[in-house]
Chains A and B, each alone.
Chain A
Amino acid sequence: MTDPIFGRLDGSVTPFDDLFRNPSVNEAVASGAALAVILGVVAVVWMLTRHRLWAPLWRDWLTSADHKKIGIMYCVLAGVMLVRGVLEGVVMRTHQVTALDGGMLSADHFAQLFSTHGTIMIFFVATPLITGLINFAVPLQIGARDMAFPVLNQVSLGLTAAGAGLVMVSLVVGQFGTGGWTMYPPYTGATFSPGPGVDYWLWAIGISGIGSTLSGLNFAVTIYKMRCPGMTWLRMPMFTWTALCTAIMMVYAFPPLTVATAMLALDRYLDFHFFTNDLGGNMMHYANVFWMFGHPEVYIVVLPAYGVFSEISATFAAKRLYGYNSLVIATMAIAVISFCVWLHHFFTMGQGAPVNAAFGIATMIIAVPTGVKVYDWLATLYEGRIRMSVPIIYLAGFFILFVFGGLTGVILANPTIDYQVHNSQFLVAHFHNVLIRGTLFGIFAGIHYWFPKAFGFRLDETLARRAAWLWFAGFCLAFLPLYWLGLMGMPRRSASYDNPAFEPAMWLAFAGGLLVLAALATTVWTFVASIRNRAALACPVGDPWDGRTLEWSVPCPAPAFNFFATPSVRALDPLTIEKAEGTPYEEADGYEDIEMPRNTALGMILAVATGVMGFALVWWVWWLAALALVAVIGAVIARAFVEDTHQRIPADELRQAHLAFLRRVRQTRAVDRDDETGPANKGLARPEVPA
Chain B
Amino acid sequence: MSGTAHPGLNLGAAHGKARDRSEKGAFGFWVFLMSDLIIFGILFATYIVMLPARAGGPGPETLFDLSSIGAQTALLLASSFTYGMASLSMKHGGRRAPVALWLALTGVLGAGFITLEMRDFIHMAGEGGVPSRSGWLSALWALVGLHGLHVAAGLLWIAVMLALLALRGLNDAVKSRLLLLGLYWHFLDLAWIGIFTIVFLGGMA
Contacts and interface: CB of A to CB of B under 8 A. Distances in A.
Interface stretch (A198-206, A272-280, A392-400, A535-543): A272-280
Nearest to B1: A225
A263 B54 CA distance: 18
A6 interface: no
Contact of B42 (A226, A256, A279, A633): A256
A40 B133 CA distance: 47
B117 to A, nearest CB: 18
A266 B138 contact: yes
Nearest to A259: B42
Contacts of A633: 156
B204 interface: no
Given A255-B39, A256-B38, A149 B28 contact: yes
Interface stretch (A281-289, A462-470, A491-499, A618-626): A281-289
B79 interface: no
A566 to B, nearest CB: 12
A280 B134 contact: yes
A217 B30 CA distance: 10
Interface string B122-143: 0000000001111111110110
A289 B160 CA distance: 35
B31 A282 contact: no
A216 B31 CA distance: 10
Q: Which of A216, A217, A273, A595 has the most CB of B within 10 A?
A: A273
B52 to A, nearest CB: 8
A413 interface: no
Nearest to A262: B142
A547 to B, nearest CB: 27
A255 B36 contact: yes
A116 interface: no
A279 B31 contact: no
Interface of A is mostly: helix
B5 interface: no
B43 A282 contact: no
Nearest to A248: B31
A252 interface: yes
Interface in B1-60: 1, 17, 23-24, 27-28, 31-32, 34-36, 38-39, 42-43, 46, 49-50, 52-55, 57
A220 B50 CA distance: 34
A659 interface: no
A349 interface: no
Contact of B31 (A217, A226, A280): A217
A270 interface: yes
A266 B142 contact: yes
A273 B54 contact: no
Interface string B152-176: 0000100010011001100001000
A217 B35 contact: yes
Interface in A188-235: 213, 216-218, 220-221, 224-226
Interface in A145-162: 148-149
Contact of A280 (B54, B167, B177): B54
Contacts of B137: 273
Given A221-B24, A252-B38, A640-B160, A274 B31 contact: no
Interface in A278-311: 278-282, 285, 289, 292
Given A259-B43, A280-B50, A285-B46, A251 B34 contact: yes
Nearest to A292: B42
Contacts of A251: 31, 34-35
A315 interface: no
A10 interface: no
Interface in A499-544: none
Interface in A617-668: 633, 637, 640-641, 643
Q: Which of A221, A258, A280, A285 has the most CB of B within 10 A?
A: A280
B158 to A, nearest CB: 12
A52 B46 CA distance: 54
A263 B135 contact: no
A270 B132 contact: yes
Interface in A242-259: 251-252, 254-256, 258-259
Contact of A274 (B17, B32, B139, B164): B139
Contacts of A254: 35
B134 A273 contact: yes
A671 B120 CA distance: 76
Interface of B: 1, 17, 23-24, 27-28, 31-32, 34-36, 38-39, 42-43, 46, 49-50, 52-55, 57, 131-139, 141-142, 156, 160, 163-164, 167-168, 173, 177
25 contacts: A148-B24, A149-B24, A149-B28, A220-B31, A221-B28, A225-B27, A251-B31, A255-B35, A255-B36, A270-B132, A271-B131, A272-B141, A273-B55, A273-B135, A274-B46, A274-B139, A279-B133, A280-B52, A280-B55, A281-B135, A282-B53, A285-B46, A285-B49, A289-B42, A643-B168
Given A255-B38, A641-B163, 10 more contacts: A224-B27, A263-B46, A266-B131, A272-B132, A272-B141, A274-B135, A280-B53, A280-B55, A285-B49, A289-B46
In the A-B complex, the 10 residue pairs with the smallest Cβ-Cβ separation, listed nearest first, are A280-B53, A280-B135, A271-B132, A255-B38, A272-B138, A280-B55, A279-B55, A221-B28, A259-B42, A255-B39
